[in-house]
């Protein structure tokens, strides 16, 4: 159904915006709010652009970008913050991967748990 990467959501410190892929509007409101808070706080703290993307096989990755001349962007802080979020939000991120693999890639849930 999907090829390459699928962006779940993104937040930009430059545009002061959060975006959620329309394909994921059926997620529970609490999950959508948690994603929004997590991403917006990241970009407010670190700067740049944070996007959560599903790889082709369903792995959820955090991708961080910044504009070339953004001297306020904290590159070292972004690496540390991503690792912190991966630890603190592990349950949420794993649940989103499972959701994606079952509903978007059509994998059998019994094979995944």
Task: List, for residues 46-80, the tens digit of each pLDDT value.
Answer: 999 999 999 999 999 999 999 999 888 999 999 99
- Is the C-alpha dihedral spanning 81, 87, 91, 94 positive or negative? positive
Residue 2 has pLDDT above 70, yes or no: no
Residue 1 has pLDDT above 50, yes or no: no
Task: List, for residues 32-42, the tens digit of each pLDDT value.
Answer: 999 999 999 99
Report whether 43 contacts 52 (CB < 8 A): no
Closest CA to 77 of 92, 91, 64: 64
* Per-residue pLDDT at 108: 86
- Record the pTM: 0.91
């Amino acid at each position: 159904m999907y090829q390459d990467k699928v962006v779940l959501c993104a937040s930009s410190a430059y545009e002061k915006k959060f975006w959620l892929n329309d394909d994921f509007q059926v997620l529970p409101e609490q999950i959508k709010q948690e994603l929004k808070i997590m991403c917006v706080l990241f970009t407010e703290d670190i700067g740049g652009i944070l996007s959560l993307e599903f790889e082709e096989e369903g792995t959820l990755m955090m991708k961080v970008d910044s504009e070339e001349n953004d001297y306020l962007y904290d590159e070292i802080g972004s690496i540390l913050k991503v690792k912190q979020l991966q630890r603190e939000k592990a349950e949420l991120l794993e649940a989103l991967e499972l959701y994606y693999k079952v509903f978007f890639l059509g994998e059998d849930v019994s094979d995944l748990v």
